[in-house]
Structure 1
């Protein structure tokens, strides 16, 4: 695969600019399957890392990411030496011929990803040149670098400033529609303002209007709530009389937005304004400046009216909402009035609507009884296409009274649906007063020179005309009651005006709480506890309702990592950054303010955590909505592969970024993550998981494991699902050989047919087992959906909800389709369950929220894994930072890939370096004994520093070891019979780890360790390299190490083994060692087996010699338990296993357990138990021991919720009911018995209480189901 070749030339002394030049060759392949979970596209393709497919327009583009030391001149790109080849229409596949450009359409953009500069070059490699189809084979490019380019800063966001809301008394009111508002003294008093003896000239009004914050960073928007110029009638005398009043122009939430294609604010229904009495005089409307140049008379203006309701999001995707539903009534009419229409003029009608139908339908549009056009809708035949949005633009005769009628033709399909988006009308009206205020503008003014004289008739009631182009600095011209009135203004741009009619003022509205608390987020965000400036490492944005949990997470990172973490309530962002309205742009602008104002570029904020769930409904129109922290939604709203949500928007900090539509959207500057918690319980649970991930209990051999899972090959083109991820596993193994890579390739298992379709029950079993045993990362590549992974359902929601892998939380990477579509409150997804499982599941997910093509998924998966594991490096970054870097360097710009979790978490990879030094006391540097069957082996080793040169002599702790037989060569089975184009069955050969011949533990003393074991008889006899995997954790410290060795030779047979015909010994229990056979359990009990044998237990997976459990005599479904057994520390003759059963039926069950020693002597034992179920929380055998007692007792109780965190409260009371002592504690037990809570006999104040009889109440509450039970008992203090 040929990469772009870059050459950096400094043309000196003949030129002042450096340049980027290079060449690129496209390696085309025809008829490549570019598929998602529901779409199957065939089209030509070139290198994956540079290939982009637009699912909306069905076009392809080439994207190059070109490193650059300085910004480039985006207009300087030149393409030369272009070589094309002619292609036929049949070679296009699904690519739309009509949408192909006639030229390459080269676009160059500067990209700045946290001060790492690059140039994004995007072009269209297939062109339609006068009907001749051509595709680009190779080319050379030239781009001039320009040191003067600035893509960094914006006024208002550089330099720390204080918010105007920091001091003074502030009161808030709101408007809904734009216009001139009259504010009386009584209205201000109703807000709570004290107006006695105040100078009205000190009154000021602030507000940014009802417009949405611009998506693009470069578009100007106030960095604080802005003061508005107002007109105050009667203020000149310095006394606020009852007849005095304020007039000002307020912008409502009814403004057309080109970038959002709507007249309605997407985030808010109210436009807030703030009023205060300040020290200086408030801003007042000034006189309109005098015009210059030749005068053009203007007697008419362009009026704009619209009808648009936002009631339905058809596919629950994107930011397009629709109004009237035509499924019941097939026609709707809307009336508009255009007073003083220009006679004989025309008007333009713009309409937009959408339909969902499995056949072609249409909507006819009539104006005043005459048809002006039809909106055609295509049929929905592709599963991924969830609607068709089309528009109409038509010109028709203007009229003062206009009725627009829409009639939907469902083509005889009663299930067809259609929805109106909007109808907008532009018409020309005369500048004539009619007793109402009205806005006006002249669209042609932009192309006109000189000045315009705006001539009004019937204008006696028009008191003033205001220029509202700049809504914060309104200017005015006064009409002295003249019936015919005019004013002049400069032309050359479209300026907006409003005629202020003294008979028609609007009235503002107020909420129940008008007083606004002072705040100064801008001025204080960088202050530390001493009020001094301190750079911020980590920013957590949360709703106020979750602040406590977010602060708990912040405190953890402060203490554990020494970070400066700031927790900011999202509600406190809006007043300063969007005038009090919810807006994603306000959140982004606040983050940009923090980012820009660090003391140095190197100390800018590194992590952003959006601590709260999101929703497709940004205005709480649906019940049980989850819009806690709003998210960026794509404009396109009808396809899971073309629409997307993204938090990347919030971390695009440079001025040429923000719209998410160009190559610049790769320039992420901050590692961003979202923890989609909906309530305080979930928030607390997820914070606890983060803390547990770093707890000493989470340290273990599972941190050496990586599990990859691939989908099978249902159709041609999907072979990359298994080939790609298998290659990735081999890459990880080669780069980080201490990692044990487990491969679960679905197509290497036998596929079975069931009533629900094809299934892989053994894949599902191995998937779940691997989760229970633990791995640092799970990486799945294949098809999936909101409920499961793969069409064969190899992992389902129920599996995820039942995961109990507490303290073994992996990173779960799912390069699949909408597995974690968390923005739909109606349908919780499997990915959400994976993250939100309070005692299992994943610590974080790199996942997909929408459908993604295989090629894009493969590209980002490989790039991410390299950055995550630090290929070619021992330095690690956080998981979210690895994804940020991967996206920044990706040509395909995978917006669908999302990070769910705490962005400051770094993968818990142990540090090097544990080394094997001796085998049977022979140095590993020389000749050592082979690991022959039934031979006794002694392993010695050392824990060294990262260089491997020096032993860590102060290292004392525990070692875990896995010893593997030789690697195994396997092949997939081709279950679905999918073949290459030449007819060959698609089969993949791959290598997996050998069988585990020993899994045990040892003590590390002063950096040294050794242990013994006997090699099982069942190893494979041919001699070859085995593998030793080490993991160590230091006693009492959060420190762990890893290591490996692949020089050992495994194979052969010991000719003189010690004789052993004695069977192992076993003890069986359920949940804990207090269990007696025949006792009761919950529905998911744990089988405990304690085994003992002089030579050890066989785990080598010899035929017929597995450790197995048979449930209720069903030998067709044995539970293979080899991977669950491990020897105890320093003694290979003893060991144990813990195996979780799941969702057993109520009633009596029998487990028949069989194990073999390394000599293949068997032992079989049985245990019985009665499952009583988990529906209710049971509390039995409540007592305290000892009882009576003097100064120490334990509270004991049994329950039916092992392994589940339980909130326990003990209250000790006098006989009269007075509470003297209370203890709240969360307990988690392996079995049914809890005895964790103790008491020293002192009251809540630490004083010894008197002797006598007391009553205590023990209350237990489930943290998962919130079920609660309690019991009273007595105790005696001596």
Structure 2
């Protein structure tokens, strides 16, 4: 009888017993005595050692004596029923067998041998031998001839095409020498074809030791999912590229699944968990070819520089902290914040602390929906790093479920991929073939999620988590060598230099050859209001005009005079003090957060220089204190960042111009082609152009002075949109407000937008729209322009399928009903009004049509198979 408690999945029990069989057949019966009706027992293994007379049964047989072993002892063996043709060999070492010297008397063959250790023997008479089972041919290969490799990718044959594509990308863009192989090929040379994780380690060690000095193996990617089931006993198993499993497996704390084993490449390493990594290891836990393709596309997208991927989000690090446990997790996050503040002060820090938000009691326990919303909003806006401290598991974060699988699957942030650091328990368990963990879903999300995850696959301790979390930040992920930030593989390797057993539960889900997307150039402030910086600090007062000048420099402070690009300055008010609520086992605690934005701009950079002006809003906090300017700049080749804090914000200007008019607002859904009352799908985007002579208020300090959207109709919602305002280039008082709505109910809706200027004058605008689920395709406003036409005309239509892949077929008929032209096209529209290809008035046979009236029909089919048709008419007059 045994009982499993606490962190144990089950408790093991072993029994040893002897018995004397009463016949040739022996029946063994085992019974599990349950402590509860829900208890279950599983038989792991049974070993039977049977004693019998040593009688030759031919044509060959093996035997051994495991009892009575003693140092210096000699044993005598007597094999009866043997003839002179029988030989006995010691096969303890199968690659070096030894023939025993025997003595035959009658039909008894005897020999003596040392009995200090267990020996295995085989007797055979030569009349027949066991045959070799031919499994198949093994192609010639020579992994032992590989050397001077920077990056090793081990993948399953199913994912070889995608792995080769990734290898080609890194050879071209990262300058790495990459080699791709499979576990089976490694087993052929390093474990005689048998599945053995040590074979993978031995191959990596050979590459590491046999390369030329300075060319040692640096990174290993395991391109495929893993499973605790090495023997493929479970249906739908995911043992594509195996991971190392600890012998203890019945307890979530002592159980370990780690890829670190493959990185213990020193002499006598690999026997315990206290060794140090020699290479950086990552895993992409894909189990389908589509996932493999999506992960390669994700890596390539992260390395691209364009208007979508480059933005101020690269200046933000977000700390998320659980509540309870005496504020343990919040304090851990604050420790990390202080480390960041001294290590890389250039970044802006956002804090999402659960205990700072209102919780709700539900039948399934406490929930904090505002935290879910804040996390999702931050993912949408973008964050260089998302760092979580607290409780977690395979389905999400915290007891309040502040991050759930539904949240993860809804993310659409492919252009703003963060690095996740999760100091929590088994959030990213990757070796369970019956479940895809929440952490795996974050990295596998094809439309967003994360680019890489320093995360956990087993239960861990908060104190050890904090140490490793600090090790990622301190002299590691932000430290540049020869001008370059470390690759993810370097980061995970350096973070584990203590050799702590808890660290083995941390893994890198992601490509170890990718670098963090931190800007490499610098932005400096040179003057405020015409006064060079370094003199008396300026004071920026409410309703005063401010001018800022600056430049782009390299690491040596030299002006980048050939830099032409765009600057995104963000000017912050003073930091605020926020006090938590002290829910559960915590207590109220204050923390500092700088989240009040005075000005968000978009400014042209010419020859490395820039300047911009703006008005300080009336809604600043009037107490004097230190402000902050955060800069992000890009020219789509090199980006830059910087900050400036040597100025004061507070007070009220003595020289104030008069402004009594609110902003002008042009409100649309999705894009500026939208017509009031039009149709959208269930995920439309608010799109507004706003302008004011003085500037738009986004501070969030004044009660009721936020940019707010009010949605009414089949879905009711109110959203504060200060963070969703972006200035237009070189226009400090004009900008765009965009906000994506999700899963709106079908039916009519009215959206009202209210915007304030810096003088606290407000304006409102409203728009009506009809939501039709994208599974039910709607088409409208089909037309062609020009119409009538003589040379060429273009067809355009409205729909509710933005973002979906569409197959479009346009058929043109004469008045007799004859089909004269068919035009087919595949497209993925980004707006809800789409142009189809132009038509030159020729038939399918290439003949020009006669002048007159013609009919045309448009058929559209989406990737889910939903379709619709719409018709109209045109006139050709040539």
Normalising by structure 1, we get a TM-score of 0.63
Corresponding position: 1:483 with 2:107: yes
Q: Give the drift of 1:700.
A: 1.0
| Equivalent residue, structure 2, for 1:1110 | 710
Corresponding position: 1:1026 with 2:635: no
Relative to structure 1, is the Cα distance of residues 802 and 1096 closer, same or farther in structure 2, using a 3 angstrom cutoff?
A: same
Can you list the C-alpha shifts for 1:736-768, whole angstroms capped at 9, x where unaligned? Answer: 111000111111122222232212222221111
| Equivalent residue, structure 1, for 2:403 | 795
The answer on whether the counterparts of 1:738 and 1:1029 sit within 8 Å (CA) in structure 2 is yes
Q: Give the drift of 1:1158.
A: 0.6
Tell me, in whole angstroms, the C-alpha distance in 2 between the residues paired with 1:768 and 1:1056: 42
Tell me, in whole angstroms, the C-alpha distance in 1 between the residues paired with 2:452 and 2:507: 10
Relative to structure 1, is the Cα distance of residues 1141 and 1256 closer, same or farther in structure 2, using a 3 angstrom cutoff?
A: closer
Can you list the C-alpha shifts for 1:27-64, whole angstroms capped at 9, x where unaligned? Answer: xxxxxxxxxxxxxxxxxxxxxxxxxxxxxxxxxxxxxx
Relative to structure 1, is the Cα distance of residues 1170 and 462 closer, same or farther in structure 2, using a 3 angstrom cutoff?
A: farther
Corresponding position: 1:591 with 2:204: yes
1:713-728 matches, within 5 Å, as 713=324, 715-716=325-326, 719-728=327-336
Corresponding position: 1:766 with 2:374: yes
Tell me, in whole angstroms, the C-alpha distance in 2 between the residues paired with 1:1017 and 1:1149: 34
Relative to structure 1, is the Cα distance of residues 594 and 803 closer, same or farther in structure 2, using a 3 angstrom cutoff?
A: same
Tell me, in whole angstroms, the C-alpha distance in 1 between the residues paired with 2:230 and 2:684: 43
Tell me, in whole angstroms, the C-alpha distance in 2 between the residues paired with 1:1165 and 1:681: 44
| Equivalent residue, structure 2, for 1:1165 | 765
1:1147 pairs, out of 743, 747, 751, with 747
| Equivalent residue, structure 2, for 1:639 | 251
1:496-515 matches, within 5 Å, as 496-500=120-124, 505-510=129-134, 514-515=136-137
1:878-957 matches, within 5 Å, as 878-891=487-500, 893-927=502-536, 929-948=538-557, 950-957=558-565
| Equivalent residue, structure 2, for 1:605 | 217
The answer on whether the counterparts of 2:541 and 2:651 sit within 8 Å (CA) in structure 1 is yes
Relative to structure 1, is the Cα distance of residues 1180 and 690 closer, same or farther in structure 2, using a 3 angstrom cutoff?
A: farther
| Equivalent residue, structure 1, for 2:852 | none
Tell me, in whole angstroms, the C-alpha distance in 1 between the residues paired with 2:798 and 2:184: 45
The answer on whether the counterparts of 2:537 and 2:646 sit within 8 Å (CA) in structure 1 is no
2:424 pairs, out of 800, 812, 816, with 816
Q: Give the drift of 1:575.
A: 2.2
1:547-696 matches, within 5 Å, as 547-600=160-213, 602-659=214-271, 661-664=272-275, 667-696=276-305
Q: Give the drift of 1:996.
A: 0.5
| Equivalent residue, structure 2, for 1:987 | 588
Tell me, in whole angstroms, the C-alpha distance in 1 between the residues paired with 2:787 and 2:143: 57
Tell me, in whole angstroms, the C-alpha distance in 2 between the residues paired with 1:1077 and 1:1256: 25
Instruction: Provide the secondary structure at the position in 2 that maps to 1:636.
Output: coil
| Residue ranges of structure 1 left out of the alignment (5+ in a row) | 1-361, 363-376, 527-534, 980-985, 1243-1247
The answer on whether the counterparts of 2:841 and 2:848 sit within 8 Å (CA) in structure 1 is no
| Equivalent residue, structure 2, for 1:1175 | 775
Relative to structure 1, is the Cα distance of residues 1071 and 1117 closer, same or farther in structure 2, using a 3 angstrom cutoff?
A: closer
Tell me, in whole angstroms, the C-alpha distance in 2 between the residues paired with 1:1256 and 1:550: 44
Can you list the C-alpha shifts for 1:1169-1188, whole angstroms capped at 9, x where unaligned? Answer: 22212336778888998999
| Residue ranges of structure 2 left out of the alignment (5+ in a row) | 850-855
Between Structure 1 and Structure 2, how many residues are aligned? 861
Tell me, in whole angstroms, the C-alpha distance in 2 between the residues paired with 1:465 and 1:1208: 76
Normalising by structure 2, we get a TM-score of 0.90
1:1071-1220 matches, within 5 Å, as 1071-1101=670-700, 1102-1112=702-712, 1118-1175=718-775, 1200-1203=800-803, 1206=805
Corresponding position: 1:425 with 2:48: yes
The answer on whether the counterparts of 2:540 and 2:546 sit within 8 Å (CA) in structure 1 is yes
Instruction: Provide the secondary structure at the position in 1 that maps to 2:42.
Output: strand
Q: Give the drift of 1:448.
A: 4.8
Instruction: Provide the secondary structure at the position in 2 that maps to 1:1098.
Output: coil
The answer on whether the counterparts of 1:435 and 1:504 sit within 8 Å (CA) in structure 2 is no
Can you list the C-alpha shifts for 1:1148-1172, whole angstroms capped at 9, x where unaligned? Answer: 2222211101111111121222221
| Equivalent residue, structure 2, for 1:133 | none
Q: Give the drift of 1:1077.
A: 2.3
| Equivalent residue, structure 2, for 1:84 | none
Can you list the C-alpha shifts for 1:1178-1236, whole angstroms capped at 9, x where unaligned? Answer: 788889989999999988676544345x38699999x999x999987xx6543234559
| Equivalent residue, structure 2, for 1:1068 | 667
The answer on whether the counterparts of 2:69 and 2:115 sit within 8 Å (CA) in structure 1 is yes
2:80 pairs, out of 447, 457, 460, with 457
Q: Give the drift of 1:610.
A: 0.7
Tell me, in whole angstroms, the C-alpha distance in 2 between the residues paired with 1:429 and 1:1063: 101
The answer on whether the counterparts of 1:398 and 1:427 sit within 8 Å (CA) in structure 2 is no
Tell me, in whole angstroms, the C-alpha distance in 1 between the residues paired with 2:90 and 2:778: 73
2:319 pairs, out of 687, 692, 708, with 708
Tell me, in whole angstroms, the C-alpha distance in 2 between the residues paired with 1:1190 and 1:953: 51
Corresponding position: 1:835 with 2:457: no
Corresponding position: 1:1046 with 2:650: no
Instruction: Provide the secondary structure at the position in 1 that maps to 2:602.
Output: strand
Instruction: Provide the secondary structure at the position in 2 that maps to 1:763.
Output: helix
Instruction: Provide the secondary structure at the position in 1 that maps to 2:202.
Output: helix
The structure with the greater share of residues assigned to strand is: 1
Can you list the C-alpha shifts for 1:799-819, whole angstroms capped at 9, x where unaligned? Answer: 111111121000011111121
Relative to structure 1, is the Cα distance of residues 501 and 1152 closer, same or farther in structure 2, using a 3 angstrom cutoff?
A: farther
1:987-1026 matches, within 5 Å, as 987-1026=588-627
Can you list the C-alpha shifts for 1:968-1015, whole angstroms capped at 9, x where unaligned? Answer: 122222012x26xxxxxx333211114011111100000000111111
The answer on whether the counterparts of 1:778 and 1:811 sit within 8 Å (CA) in structure 2 is yes
1:410 pairs, out of 33, 52, 58, with 33
